[in-house]
Amino acid sequence: MEKYQAIFEPITIKRMTLKNRVIMPPMGTNFATTDGSFNEKHYAYYEQRAKGGTALITLENVCIDYPMGTNGTTQLRMDNDQY
């Protein structure tokens, strides 16, 4: 691990400092409810990644134009103020 030690060192990007360089990219979980809402399963999923030491977590793919822009019935939505 000595070769990759920088991964565990802090990094500052503009005005944001991360405790390490571990970054989670957006990945679909298919946890959304049938109406596209965020729920307890999501909270637990992202909480575990944060507790595991991930410095920056990018939220998963989100539908912004339902029904044209959706990839299924378990995708998060933010196409109106309800979400």
Q: How confident is the model at residue 83 (pLDDT cuts 50, 70, 90)?
A: confident
SS3 for the chain is: CHHHHHHHCCEEECCEEECCCCEECCCCCCCCCCCCCCCHHHHHHHHHHHHCCCCEECCCCEECCCCCCCCCCCCEECCCCCC
DSSP state, residue 19:
S
pLDDT at position 72: 87
CA distance 49 to 81: 27
pLDDT at position 1: 64
pLDDT(57) > 90: yes
Digit-coded pLDDT (tens) for 6-17: 999 999 999 999
- Give me the residue label for tokens 């000595």: 2
Digit-coded pLDDT (tens) for 6-51: 999 999 999 999 999 999 999 999 999 999 999 999 999 999 999 9
For residue 62, the number of C-alpha atoms closer than 13 Å in the C-beta half-sphere is 11
pLDDT at position 15: 98
